[in-house]
């Protein structure tokens, strides 16, 4: 099952960090702009400098498809250099009527061979099922997102419960099919993370909102991980990728990721699982 594979990666690499490769030509260091393929060189340098400290890379598909054919080629080339001991997540937020979702699933799970994808639950089970049928792949369903607009719908009360808990409850049921469901839960909602974790004690969580969005790391680690300090990926993107605009950008990114890994492991060591910690 995907959850077991995820936790194996976390244990083997001793890290819960997920690094988002949201690569933007307008933000990469100027020193790269003279390269023939500056975005690829940026991704290659970031991956080479950080992979030992991350359990997964999350590629936000918008940053690639916005470039047209070169963007899809960049996506493919970037995936080819990610080490096999690190998970790849397509942050695509897809889901549509069943036959369309089937093609989306084929795109990301067969053509590009991602290990996991993010999907929207809004259209219901038949729109998500084609992704779930890839039993060895992870499907992270949007549950409670980190953006301000989450208040518009996700907190609406349905039968005296917020909608995000209804989503979590549904996904728990879907998980019985193939055991490959997870939840996207924003790190800016720490009280709600605790509530969702209590409802779904074993589902893997993908947690954005740390770093540039200001989520509280200690509370996120405490509430998002399971009782063993596992089953969670804590995502960081901009605050690492663009920490330096100079030629040393990869070294600075490496130090940022290592420090985050060490912070997380210290918190887990105190709260839940001393065996996970590694300060090497």
Confidence of residue 275 (pLDDT cuts 50, 70, 90): low
Q: Are 243 and 253 in contact (CB under 8 A)?
A: yes
Distance CA 253, CA 49 (A): 7
Which three-class secondary structure state does DSSP give residue 217? helix
Residue 149: count other Cβ atoms within 10 Å of its Cβ: 8
Average pLDDT over residues 79-100: 98
pLDDT at 176 over 70: yes
pLDDT attached to residue 279: 46
Confidence of residue 212 (pLDDT cuts 50, 70, 90): low
Q: What is the pLDDT of residues 119-145, one digit of tens each?
A: 999 999 999 999 999 999 999 999 999
> Does the structure show a pLDDT above 90 at 107?
yes
Which two structure tokens, joined as six digits, stand for 244?
A: 């330096």
Q: Domain coordinates of the chain in residue numbers?
A: 2-276
- Give this prediction's pTM: 0.96
- What pLDDT score was predicted for residue 271? 82
58 catalytic per annotation: no
The structural architecture, per CATH, of the domain 2-276 is Alpha-Beta Barrel (3.20)
- In this prediction, residues 217-225 reach a mean pLDDT of 94
Instruction: Answer yes or no: is pLDDT of 227 > 60.
Output: yes
Q: Please determine, for residue 155, whether its predicted confidence score (pLDDT) is greater than 70.
A: yes
pLDDT one-digit tens code per residue, 193-211: 999 999 999 999 999 988 6
Q: Specify the pLDDT at position 169.
A: 97
CA 209 – CA 237 distance, rounded (Å): 9
Residue-level pLDDT at 82: 98
> With bands split at pLDDT 50, 70 and 90, how would you rate the model's confidence at 213?
low
Residue 122, pLDDT score: 97
Catalytic residue among 9, 13, 58, 93: 93
Q: Which residues contact 269 (CB under 8 A, 6 or more apart)?
A: 276, 277
């Amino acid at each position: 099952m995907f959850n077991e594979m995820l936790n194996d990666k976390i244990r083997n690499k001793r890290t819960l960090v997920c690094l988002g490769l949201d690569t933007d030509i307008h933000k990469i260091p100027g020193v790269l702009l003279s390269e023939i393929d500056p975005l690829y060189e940026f991704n290659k340098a970031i991956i080479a400098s950080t992979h030992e400290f991350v359990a997964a890379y999350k590629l936000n598909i918008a940053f690639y498809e916005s470039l047209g054919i070169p963007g899809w080629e960049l996506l493919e080339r970037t995936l080819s250099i990610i080490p096999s001991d690190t998970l790849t997540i397509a942050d695509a937020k897809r889901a549509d009527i069943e036959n369309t979702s089937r093609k989306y699933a084929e795109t990301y799970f067969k053509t590009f061979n991602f290990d996991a994808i993010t999907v929207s639950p809004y259209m219901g089970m038949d729109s998500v099922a084609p992704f779930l049928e890839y039993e060895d792949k992870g499907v992270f369903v949007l549950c409670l997102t980190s953006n301000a607009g989450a208040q518009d719908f996700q907190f609406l009360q349905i039968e005296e419960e917020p909608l995000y808990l209804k989503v979590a409850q549904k996904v728990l049921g879907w998980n019985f099919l193939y055991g490959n469901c997870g939840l996207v839960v924003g790190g800016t909602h720490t009280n709600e993370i605790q509530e969702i974790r209590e409802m779904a004690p074993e589902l893997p969580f993908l947690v954005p909102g740390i770093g540039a969005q200001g989520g509280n790391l200690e509370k996120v680690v405490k509430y998002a991980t399971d009782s063993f300090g596992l089953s969670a990926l804590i995502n960081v993107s901009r605050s690492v990728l663009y920490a330096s605009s100079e030629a040393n950008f990869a070294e600075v990114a490496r130090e940022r990721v290592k420090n985050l890994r060490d912070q997380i492991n210290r918190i887990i060591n105190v709260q839940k699982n001393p065996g996970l910690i590694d300060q090497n």
